[in-house]
Structure formats: structure tokens, C-alpha cells
Amino acid sequence: MAETILELEHANIYQGQSLILEDVNIKVNRGEFVYLVGKTGTGKSSLLKTLYGELKLKEGEGAVVGYNLRDMDWKKIPFLRRNLGIVFQDFQLLTDRNVHDNLRFVLRATGWKEDKLVEEKINDVLEKVGLKTKGFKFPFELSGGEQQRVDVARALLNSPKLILADEPTGNLDPETSDEIMQLLFHISKNFGTAIVMATHDYRVINKFPARTIRTEKGKVIDNAAVSF
């Protein structure tokens, strides 16, 4: 039976006191790729923030990579996030250090102490994203696509069971977007990592079809039809 990585049951998603999404029921299994779509302001970001612990789940049930979202507090959130990979639209790389040291910083911050293991892990993730020879480069020396690959490499550092990707192709041209999509699908298929990707890019969905969840009028529609 497939391993469930993410599950929400009858969840109500709040932003402050405002109910954003009502009676959300989602299940994502190991290695599954799922798009999250919806117009701006329909709750995509609130849903993602609930999944990585930035918004508290107050009503309903939810579990992500084995962590109960109802039990989340500031002490537990770092442990949840160590088991997640998060990929952003704007890369959020440290500009004052090279690619290798960007990755090293994250490993040190999440408790990796042994230099040999740190080096092995950095080499491993850079190879997975096709940047094995670029570790010495600074972010400003990389193209947008290469910076996004570093962001994906960073998300892979702690071997997560789930990657949450928020508009990862939003700042990229079509050709580079396709390369990042191929990389994400490769990761989900070959490493068994579930990926939930929020996007407005319907060209990408058309070219790389997968299960789609849509936020609309305070609801979440699973297996939603996508109109291009």
C-alpha cells in the first residue's frame, strides 16, 4: 500500500480570524506529483503555509511527513521543516557566499556536524540537480535556471519525503522552466519524493500533466479539470 505523505481531513484553513478554505480533504502519497492551482487570493499560499507550519491548523485533521499539524508549535516547526523541502520562486540564496557554502550553511543549521558527511551530501545534491561543477560559483554568476537548481538542491539536503514548490518556474523563460520541470519530475519518480507545486503556469501543466488540485471560492477541488 502506498505511503501517505500528506493528508488533510475536513480541515478549515484560517488566516488570522478569516476562514480562507473550508472542509479541505487532500491526500498525497509517496512519489506523487501534484499541481496546486487557483486564482490569486483563493488560498493557495495559505494552504502551503499550513502545510509547512507557518499557519496553525485550528479545525479538522492534518498530517505532513508524520507530523500532526494540530500539534504544531514553535518548538516542533523546525523538526517538521527538516523533513520538508521548500522551493521558492525567488531562490532566496545567500548572496555573500558561493553555492557550496549556501548548502553547507543549511546543513549546519539543521544539525549536521561531521565535515566528511556534509561534503558528501553537498556533492550528492549538486550531482542530482546537474550542478556538480558549479559549487564554487556565487549566485550572481549563475543563470536564473541554475539558481533555481541550487534552490532545488537545497530542498533535497535532508532527503525530504515531500517538497513544497511555490511558483518555481515563475521567473524563468519557457525553455528553462521545462528544464526545472523535468528535474522535479525526475526527483519525484526516481527518489520517491512527493511534490506539491503551486503554479500559475498553465503552459507547464499542459506540457507536464499531473494530478491537479484547485482552490476556488473557499473550497479545494481535487482532480480538478484545468482549462487552458
In a domain, 225, yes or no: yes
Residue 32 inside a domain? The answer is: yes
Residue 95 maps to a domain? no
Q: Give per-residue pLDDT as tens, 160-194.
A: 999 999 999 988 899 999 999 999 999 999 999 99
Tens of pLDDT, residue by residue over 23-79, are 999 999 999 999 999 998 899 989 999 999 999 999 999 999 999 999 988 888 888
Residue 198 included in any domain? no
> Per the structure, how many domains does the chain have?
1
Does 228 reside within a domain?
Answer: yes
Task: Name the residue range of residue 57's domain.
Answer: 1-83+204-228
Q: Are strands 194-198 and 59-64 parallel, antiparallel or unpaired?
A: unpaired
Please state, as a whole number, how many other Cβ atoms lie within 10 Å of the Cβ of residue 122. 22
Q: Which three cell numbers stand for residue 111?
A: 544539525
According to the model, what pLDDT value does residue 178 have? 95
Structural domain includes residue 172: no
Inside any domain, residue 69: yes
Question: Is 47 part of a structural domain of the chain?
Answer: yes
Model's pTM, two decimal places?
0.91
User: DSSP per residue over 13-80, as a string?
Assistant: EEETTEEEEEEEEEEEETT-EEEEE--TTSSHHHHHHHHTTSS---EEEEEETTEEGGG--TTTHHHH
Q: For residue 21, give the CATH number of its domain.
A: 3.40.50.300
